[in-house]
Structure 1
Amino acid sequence: MKKWLPLIIIIGLITIVGFWGVGVFNKMIDMEGQAQKSWADVESSYQRRNDLIGNLVKTVQGAADFEKSTLTEVINARAKATSVTVDASNLSGVNLAQFQQAQSGLTGALSKLLVAVERYPDLKASQNFLELQSQLEGTENRINVARDRYNNTAGEYNIYINKIPYRVVAGISGFEGLPLYKSKPGSENAPDVNFDFNKKK
């Protein structure tokens, strides 16, 4: 019996380490899955915004004398934003940056549109336009919440897989960190707002 004791101890240790490794692996799978689900919520919120912008553009197009260049800019930015998608199972810093850049372009074009609307009292007073504008504001809040949730879940996952000894299991299993959603460079500065309503249409 004594001669088998070292073998039994080794097998016991391997079994314990194996069960521990499986537990860590499953935890990483769960955390990565939660982060991917959070990213899907981000994309869903942006999709809602894109849908609302389509309706907003149709409403604004009804104002015959509305600036065509502003509308064209929004339509083009919306098309670009909807063409850039990120696979939740293959999140990387590069494709997240491309997604963010496309969405930022749409945000800028939409801001110009909403400022231009100020010069059109009839359009500004339209119930349909006011309702769409209100829904857009709510959607922007949803986007912020969804991005924060994604950053929280992805951040927790990143911390977990980089801690020792979990890092060993992550390295062996091929788990990699997830990129975080970052603010656009320069967004820490206050915007320069200049409403010139005396401008000619």
Structure 2
Amino acid sequence: MGKIALVILGVIILFALIIGGAALSSYNNLVTKRNDVDKQWSQVENQMQRRADLIPNIVGTVKGIAGQEKEVFTRIAEARSRLLSATTPEEKIDADGKLTQAMRDGGLLGSGGRFLMITEQYPQLKSNENFMRLQDELAGTENRMAVARRDYNESVTDYNTTKQKFPTVLIAGLMGFKDKPLFKADEGAKTAPKVDFSN
């Protein structure tokens, strides 16, 4: 009877080690993926900050030349302030969407729009070296932000998918791992801007 008890005990210990190893591996995998999501999110925040820092320079340059467009720039400045005061990823995603929409409405983003009209009304903007440099910087920042958002969303998708698979879902539930939000396009980005060359 002693040998059978030892074999059973050995099987139980082996089974516990296998389960424990799988649980530990799942936990470590989730931690790695969560940290990657956090790293990618910090890149998105860096680009948000870069854009937020760039906007006052652009607005100041254009305001000096195109003073009557004050309402547009006030909305952009308010949206920028909301972005800078947001604390959670969800708040920042929402505030970034509002800033993007304000910039799109103001013509700083998209193809032409109001910004094209402003530069046509104030040709001295086109000859302003600082303005042209800032415009190029904004375009570059928007491209970097698009890459950072894509990388963040890929990381979030990988993390959320891993977290939802069995048996990792059990470990995730026990250890309090939560789903991470995807960065989604704001409503204005879903509709292509209209460009009218008839005037």
* TM-score, normalised with respect to structure 2: 0.84
| Residues in 1 aligned to 2:115 and 2:174: alpha-carbon distance in whole angstroms | 51
Letter in 2 for 1:156: D
Name the one with the larger helix percent.
Answer: 2
In the alignment, structure 2 segments of 5+ residues that lack a partner are 109-113
- Aligned counterpart for 1:99 among listed residues 91, 95, 118: 95
Distance 1:83 1:111, change over 3 A: farther
Aligned to 1:17: 19
| Residues in 2 aligned to 1:75 and 1:195: alpha-carbon distance in whole angstroms | 29
Aligned to 1:114: 115
Q: Give the CA deviation at 1:194.
A: 4.5
Q: Give the CA deviation at 1:18.
A: 0.8
Aligned to 2:127: 125
Aligned to 1:70: 72
| Contact 2:34–2:159 (Cα < 8 Å) also in 1 | yes
Aligned to 2:111: none
Aligned to 1:145: 147
Aligned to 1:84: 86
Task: Give the length in aligned residue pairs.
Answer: 191
Q: Give the CA deviation at 1:96.
A: 5.5
Aligned to 1:52: 54
- Aligned residues: CA RMSD: 2.3
In the alignment, structure 1 segments of 5+ residues that lack a partner are none
Q: Give the CA deviation at 1:28.
A: 0.3
Percentage of matched positions with identical amino acids = 35
Segments ≥4 residues shifted beyond 6 Å: none
| Residues in 1 aligned to 2:93 and 2:72: alpha-carbon distance in whole angstroms | 25
Distance 1:188 1:11, change over 3 A: same
Distance 1:103 1:193, change over 3 A: same
